[in-house]
Amino acid sequence: MIESKKMIVSGRVQGVCYRAFVQKQALKLAISGYAKNLPNGNVEVLACGEAAAIEQLLERCKKGPIMAKVSGVEVSDCAVTTAQGFDIL
């Protein structure tokens, strides 16, 4: 089943290649959407794809790349998008 989730990732997630990490993981899992830095230092991730793939991406987002230090991930449902690919904004 296709679904969309929005994740707000907090911690040390800017300046550590976090968005590129999420993009690489999302493309491996055939998830579309984006990752973008927020002014408050968090990263917003929109993920659209199979429910099981999104769950895998969520688990990977909780860890992040080696230089990141994720302190929390807030997840919410959102309207399914028809985005293609996974962008870094």
Task: Say what the pTM is.
Answer: 0.94
User: DSSP string of the chain?
Assistant: -EEEEEEEEEEE-SSSSHHHHHHHHHHHTT-EEEEEE-TTS-EEEEEEEEHHHHHHHHHHHHH-STT-EEEEEEEEE-PPP---SEEE-
| pLDDT given at position 35 | 97
Domain positions in the chain are 2-82
Look up 42 and say whether it is catalytic: no
Residue-wise pLDDT tens for the chain (89 aa)? 789 999 999 999 999 999 999 999 999 999 999 999 999 999 999 999 999 999 999 999 999 999 999 999 999 999 877 678 999 99
| pLDDT given at position 79 | 83
| pLDDT given at position 85 | 92
* Catalytic residue (one of 12, 19, 42, 60): 19
* Catalytic residue (one of 37, 40, 42, 60): 37
Which residues are CB-contacts of 15 (< 8 A; sequence separation ≥ 6)?
none
Look up 37 and say whether it is catalytic: yes
Domain 2-82, architecture per CATH: 2-Layer Sandwich (3.30)
